[in-house]
Amino acid sequence: MKNKFPNDFFWGTATASYQIEGATDKDGKSKSIWDTFTHTPGKVKNNENGDTAVDHYHRYEEDIELMANINLNSYRFSLAWTRIIPEGIGKINPKGVDFYSRLIDKCLEKNIEPFITLYHWDLPQSLQDKGGWANRDITNIFSDYSEAIVKNFGDRCNHFITFNEPQVFTIHGYVDGYMAPGYKDLEKYFASIHNVNVAHGKAFQAMKSLNNNIKIGCTLNMAPCIPATKSSEDLHATKLFDTYWNRSFADPMYLGRYPELLIDDVSKHIQQDDMKNIFQKNDFIGLNHYQHIRIKADNKSLLKARGAFNDELPFGLDGKDAKLTLMGWEIVPDAYYDQIMDLKNNYGNPNIYLTENGAAYPDLIEKNGEINDTDRIDYFKKYLSAVKKSIDDGAKVKSYFAWTFMDNFEWALGFEKRFGIVHVDFKTLKRTPKKSYYFFKKLVEQNSIPFDF
């Protein structure tokens, strides 16, 4: 049927360890940079932290049951490196491995395919103390960690994502200091870009040499960049920002070269064989997408370019119908289509796993206890239509993971922004499916968008 998604399509939700697990000091886990960052006053809204988060560590069975009840056939989650190898390097912690083994087994019992992200930003603090991503040693250390993952989980899991959104954790971690580890240091940033690229390539080879059947890729958060005004400064800033945000990892990993505007800054870090090592036969590219970004030149920003705030746009947002999510992100489904087609047309028509997409809304609980998040459902209908159109136009899209399964800790914004299809009461930790959860049930059941929902 014309409006059906492919038969073997993966429908799921995505999460990240620090945002949901809690239990940050349990069973041998050590501190990550996010434990340190959140416990540094002033870094996170209301000084909130993920110490308890939404306690997925203890409630994972209930959470997987909820996924199974709407027939989701996949679940993307990340591993806390600090549970598995607490010092980042060396000894494995059996209790950490055991937690993820139980989680994976629970998924398999419910016919849910686990998609594992190795790194979703929670670097062991002990590795940060040695320079973190800015120290080249980490390329081998990450590769060793990746081997441990495949040795422990490669018998039951087929899909592995090395990094989640490397440009987010390098720009916000090393340029504007908005996220852990909180640096504002361009030299560290450029070193980190290259080290993450090399780490991906080395890990890819190490993992494949242990199990050639597993599928490996990297997840990038990509967004079409458009100038905030027509000024030549903003036009140039847009090219710069597009390079840093969209191309600094996609081009080396998927095309085998750095973009022109970046090459001078990273060249001193490139050693013999690095480019060959980075450019592997990735099985897929993971795409996280939320919005397009309007770019402004800004001499005060280290990158000389940044995303414009909506109230700085001289002519406001285009068109009367422009709508924003609670994050202030514009709802532009066409940008999702354009982004997917950019990967198809300019990155060799790869297999594309849509690994995150979703929207934050206030989600008020009604008197009868229901959460009628119709704005979110409307968002999903529009964004899924863009996905379907891209498939019809030849993009090899294999999955859609909604961000996110349940409300959780949204990094420097604390618990304020709710993205889940399941509501969480952050005091009692009670889970309540929202209306969008039932929308997903119907979506998966009919394998097409339920526009009448």
Of these residues, 356, 366, 370, 410, which one is catalytic?
Answer: 356
Of these residues, 165, 366, 370, 445, which one is catalytic?
Answer: 165
# residues contacting ligand IFM (CB under 6 A):
7
- 288 lies in the site for ligand IFM, by CB under 6 A: yes
d(CA 297, CA 313) in angstroms, rounded, equals 12
- 165 lies in the site for ligand IFM, by CB under 6 A: yes
Q: How far is the CB of 244 from ligand IFM (least distance, A)?
A: 17
Cβ nearer to ligand IFM, comparing 117 with 238? 117
Cβ nearer to ligand IFM, comparing 124 with 420? 420
Q: How far is the CB of 187 from ligand IFM (least distance, A)?
A: 26
Cβ nearer to ligand IFM, comparing 12 with 227? 12
Closest CA to 162 of 98, 254, 270: 254
Cβ nearer to ligand IFM, comparing 238 with 288? 288
Q: How far is the CB of 267 from ligand IFM (least distance, A)?
A: 30
Site string for ligand IFM, 63-92 (x = CB under 6 A): ------------------------------
Site for ligand IFM in 230-269 (CB under 6 A): none
- 356 lies in the site for ligand IFM, by CB under 6 A: yes
Cβ nearer to ligand IFM, comparing 60 with 163? 163
Residue at shortest CB range from ligand IFM: 16
Site for ligand IFM in 382-401 (CB under 6 A): none
Q: How far is the CB of 235 from ligand IFM (least distance, A)?
A: 27
Site string for ligand IFM, 403-422 (x = CB under 6 A): x------x------------
- 363 lies in the site for ligand IFM, by CB under 6 A: no
Q: Has 366 been annotated as catalytic?
A: no
Token code pair at residue 282: 């990735």
Among 5, 11, 12, 16, contact with ligand IFM (rule: CB under 6 A): 16
- 21 lies in the site for ligand IFM, by CB under 6 A: no
Q: How far is the CB of 449 from ligand IFM (least distance, A)?
A: 22
Q: Has 445 been annotated as catalytic?
A: no
Binding site for ligand IFM (CB under 6 A): 16, 19, 165, 288, 356, 403, 410
Active site residues: 165, 356
